Structure 1
């Protein structure tokens, strides 16, 4: 049995915490089929009980510091009281002396007594403050006693699980999520939300990307500024390093690139060689060109670019089904041609001719073997046309995409993150996508 439902994938960026993916689904009657949450790598540190435990410890530390301050103050006041006690004893002796011999009382004695009384007047506010501090100390001790009981209860509740055990639970949940995700076949684009601005850098034109074929632990980001006259590719170990500008490595390509429509796939960079229709496959591991091949009949050097120009004649991209090239030919009257490529040899495996003019397309991207085309690179752009390579049919659409910074020079889908990467007028952005999916049962092929 095959169930149909709408599934929304949301990707959020937290530079210091990594990625998180949510997936929800419902059938055509609106009933919830499944909700899956992928826990973050650092779930343990974000656990509610651990957070409460940490807050209690911080509160106790603050109270302990307050008590220490009060203790120092009361010690100081105690020394002052001891001094006043000594003076009072001396004053009592003076009074006894006066009582025993009233006739010998002199003016000097009165002045001395007056001075002593003035000194003792200062003792009154000190004693009042001492009394207040003592009350506060008592209250603090009582609160700490209560917090200690709560702390002990929480510790007993979660103390049975150490970090390694909790980490194994997280990994188990991730495995279950991936098993569920593997049951999702390719879907149809229904909605685009965002963007999330990850960083602002570079010129108005450029490309940034991740490898959809990389392992879950590999979150490298590659960055290529400008659409020509550049050969430098910058590598970052993670999105947080990319945001912070911490490069891990740079690569000096043997040829300049043309346009901004490059893609990293299975450890290699695929790009259009400047002033040619040649596609270059450059291996990051070996640091050299592995393959280069001409895309037969493909227009190049601003013959059939996207609406914004920039030598964007040949667009290389990847989705769940593999590597693709989007371009136009004279034979197809300047309309878009879709070709699926062998990622090792760059040979064309199959091609489809569309009826959509390449020069009238703002940008395009592949999801599950379907090409989606925007009608503009400027404000007000929307996904206007789609072509399915599975059925060789097209469809007109009306899916808005928020062009936040007014000029889109790169838009590409990442199948692993299930998000659109964009270069929006010098801003590196991410869009979330909502797809209509089919869930297959285990017994279905």
Structure 2
């Protein structure tokens, strides 16, 4: 508790009176103190007289001493309560005003800096325009456009300053007028081009536009390219062209796994299903040990939601998926194995009669692919060679359930001179290497008619060697394993249907 000074003074007087009473005993039991007239004019002031007495400004006070010698005082003080709440409000208001002032002052400093920067730019532009006025050099349209662009930027800034600036805007108004004058001057200079370079360029541009319009109108007279045949439909005349490659992804095992195969499972009952498989060989380019399945192409692109399986009996980059089964060449032999893609269990293991194996007649630049399996709109196929065919390609149609050979065709094309092959609508298409960036679809054999012949369809590639090619009948794409990268191509078919024999 804090006592005011005037109260303490009264209390000391009482105690002094009590001491004097105790020193000079009287028969009176209480002492009355008469009020002292204040000599000071200010409330609560205290003054000292020359004789040491105190003049008190209190309105009245009474004191007494009880029988025990204790001083008891009754004091009436004037109403001098200090307005602390008003002072707090005043301090808060002053603080807010100070903050606002600081913010506004910082804005003003920023505006002053911007104005100085753009004043310098304006001076530079003025000098450049004056040089252009006096000089006889021909200026290109680009020079004028650059100056126009700078003037537009300054004009936008001036508009922003006018909107945000509080107070006198005389300087900004002057800048705006100067910028407008500068715009008119640049436009006038542009029209006074002595060599008419700009007008000639505009005429040339107009002629080019007219030529484009003529070409567009001419193309409208050409009939549109017919749509590709329906998925799974063979009412066309065969492959006549191929698109540029689309790089889908690097195989999930990395750069070192350059050999392998990939594709999309084809099910005639559910052709729209999107089950993708990727089967990189081990770095020895021979053993197929691991493969992965993806339920969509999006999952394959980001290596997510995959199912990975292991087997110890696959060989070469010639596998294919058909009807939820993976067909592979059994390791170190001529057998073909059928693997259930749901359970990874081998359901059939059947030898391919007379087929050679272990690099006897593999593809050019690709080892361990003596037996290459393929799928098209019609069936499951196997491409291989025998000793009786002297290394020429042999095509057999297989029963996809039992892997028994249903029919066989022997071609005149030597298999080791072919880089790879695939089947479309019962027609074999073979490729060869032209250089490190181009393959060529150069040969075909039609099992429907027994015809064979040469083609010349260039096929770009991303890396030097193509390890495997698989065709999918529903999306009519080739799935190519190119030195570890997964590519796909769109095939283009002839509009004319295949002629019968």
The TM tier, using the shorter chain, reads 0.5 to 0.7
Q: Which has the higher contact order (CA 8 A, sep 6+)?
A: 1
Partner Cα distance (2:106, 2:337) in 1:
89
Query: 1:363, 1:376 within 8 Å by CA — same for their partners in 2?
Result: no
1:323 aligns with 2:377: no
Q: Provide Cα deviations, 1:372-416, integer angstroms capped at 9, x if missing partner.
A: 011238523211110000111101111111122111111111111
Partner Cα distance (1:182, 1:327) in 2:
25
Query: 1:187, 1:368 within 8 Å by CA — same for their partners in 2?
Result: no
Match of 2:276 in 1: 221
CA distance 1:381–1:393, change in 2 (3 Å) = same
Match of 1:267 in 2: 324
Query: 2:229, 2:235 within 8 Å by CA — same for their partners in 1?
Result: no
- Note the C-alpha offset of 1:285: 2.4
Match of 1:249 in 2: 307
Partner Cα distance (1:387, 1:350) in 2:
15
1:211 aligns with 2:275: no
SS at match of 2:299: helix
Q: Provide Cα deviations, 1:120-179, integer angstroms capped at 9, x if missing partner.
A: x969959x99982599xxxxxxxxxxxxxxxxxxxxxxxxxxxxxxxxxxxxxxxxx999
CA distance 1:205–1:217, change in 2 (3 Å) = same
Q: Provide Cα deviations, 1:215-246, integer angstroms capped at 9, x if missing partner.
A: 36632211111142332111122112112111
Partner Cα distance (1:318, 1:436) in 2:
20
CA distance 1:378–1:342, change in 2 (3 Å) = farther
CA distance 1:123–1:315, change in 2 (3 Å) = closer
Query: 2:327, 2:337 within 8 Å by CA — same for their partners in 1?
Result: yes
Partner Cα distance (1:178, 1:388) in 2:
20
Match of 1:422 in 2: 480
Query: 1:378, 1:407 within 8 Å by CA — same for their partners in 2?
Result: no
Partner Cα distance (1:267, 1:378) in 2:
37
Partner Cα distance (2:390, 2:294) in 1:
41
Q: Which moved more, 1:194-203 or 1:339-348?
A: 194-203
CA distance 1:222–1:181, change in 2 (3 Å) = closer
CA distance 1:181–1:269, change in 2 (3 Å) = closer
1:188 aligns with 2:228: no
- Note the C-alpha offset of 1:270: 0.3
Q: How does 1:30-429 map to 2 (within 5 A)?
A: 132=163, 185-201=235-251, 202=254, 203-213=257-267, 215=270, 218-226=273-281, 227-253=285-311, 255-376=312-433, 379=436, 380-429=438-487
- Note the C-alpha offset of 1:182: 6.5
CA distance 1:182–1:230, change in 2 (3 Å) = closer
CA distance 1:338–1:130, change in 2 (3 Å) = closer
Partner Cα distance (1:343, 1:124) in 2:
81
Q: TM-score with structure 2 length normalisation?
A: 0.52
Partner Cα distance (1:294, 1:124) in 2:
87
Q: How many residues align structurally?
A: 287
Partner Cα distance (2:484, 2:161) in 1:
64
Structure 1: 5+ residue runs without aligned partners?
1-78, 85-117, 136-176, 441-445
- Note the C-alpha offset of 1:258: 1.5
SS at match of 1:198: strand
Query: 1:377, 1:409 within 8 Å by CA — same for their partners in 2?
Result: no
Partner Cα distance (2:409, 2:236) in 1:
19
Partner Cα distance (2:106, 2:464) in 1:
73
Greater strand proportion = 1
Q: Which moved more, 1:209-218 or 1:189-198?
A: 209-218
CA distance 1:124–1:186, change in 2 (3 Å) = closer
Query: 1:363, 1:377 within 8 Å by CA — same for their partners in 2?
Result: no
- Bigger radius of gyration: 2
Partner Cα distance (2:493, 2:453) in 1:
16
CA distance 1:317–1:134, change in 2 (3 Å) = farther
Query: 2:228, 2:492 within 8 Å by CA — same for their partners in 1?
Result: no
- Note the C-alpha offset of 1:417: 1.5
Partner Cα distance (1:356, 1:178) in 2:
29
SS at match of 1:310: coil
Q: Provide Cα deviations, 1:288-331, integer angstroms capped at 9, x if missing partner.
A: 11111111000100001000132110100000111000000011
CA distance 1:393–1:337, change in 2 (3 Å) = same
Partner Cα distance (2:106, 2:289) in 1:
81
Partner Cα distance (2:261, 2:465) in 1:
13
